[in-house]
Amino acid sequence: MAAKPSSQTEKIAHHAASKWRGGSFEAIDDALAVEEPLEIRLAGRRFTLTMRTPGNDEELAAGFLLAEGFIANANELDEIRRVRDAKGVEEPNAIDVILNVRAEGLRERMKRNFTISSSCGVCGKTSIDSITQRIVPIASRAKVAAAVILQLGERLRESQQVFAATGGLHACGLFDTDGKLLAAREDIGRHNAVDKIAGWALVNEILPLSQSIMLVSGRLSFEIVQKAAAAGVPILAAVSAPSSLAVELADEAAITLVGFLRDGSFNAYTHRARITA
């Protein structure tokens, strides 16, 4: 199933602003990152709502369902389609997902209560324990040179077209162990950007990502590690700090966790053996 292409114009809005500089205000036209709701339905039934930056919505839905344990692989994903109104016009902020999951299995998965937002994808879970129980330690022989890790931040920034225009988006990049950028996604929510990458990998049937490196902008939270683990990512890095729970989960999931990747250095918190000198 091919993901629907997105344009930069739907991700950027413009608004008049007054900039204080040199002791006075001047009128400017400022570029803003677009934030809009996306309603995700399952077989026509409203499932959840997330605030996101438009674009790659099908990947976002697929990655979210993977991370939350609603689907295990691409075979359980039948179709993702745009919702249409009574006149047959596509709704820009609603998509419907059809799953290849037996009814009793889907009912069991639906018992969980999920609420996601642009700031916290893990909010609304019944318990953290229910998440960690689904995490299987990653078996990967991937190795990466420290010099390659140091190059990833700049390569990801080069791909952030909307961030360059607005300064208002997070990014997630997927690399091979030689540092080649395989895919990059931006979103107002850090966890949405990760879901879009996971969804991209799912619909292209290249899961698990056992020979890949994932880099996220900002900090490393529990939910980011959870989503990386669901996609089978063995090496996860960020330009900022990890939380204590993120480090604990990465250790349990056998993920090499890298933080503070900037200014020519980084910290390795778990499973450092995958990083070579």
Residues involved in catalysis:
120
Q: How far apart, in whole angstroms, are the C-alpha atoms of residue 217 and residue 162?
A: 14
Give the residue carrying structure tokens 């499932």: 47
What are the Cα distances from residue 56, in Å, to 16, 97, 275? 28, 14, 32
C-beta neighbour count of 214 within 10 angstroms = 25
Which amino acid makes up residue 40?
I
Q: Are 217 and 194 in contact (CB under 8 A)?
A: no
Using CA atoms, how far apart are residues 167 and 231, in angstroms rounded to an integer?
28
Cα 34 off chain centre by: 17
User: Which residue type sits at 173?
Assistant: G
Whether the CB-CB separation of 16 and 27 falls below 8 Å is answered with yes
Helix pair 57-67, 190-203: axis angle to 10 deg: 90
Q: What's the rounded Cα separation, in Å, for the pair 169 and 100?
A: 33
Place of tokens 């602003």: 17
Which residues partner with 157 through β-bridges?
A: none
- The token pair at 271 is 């499973």
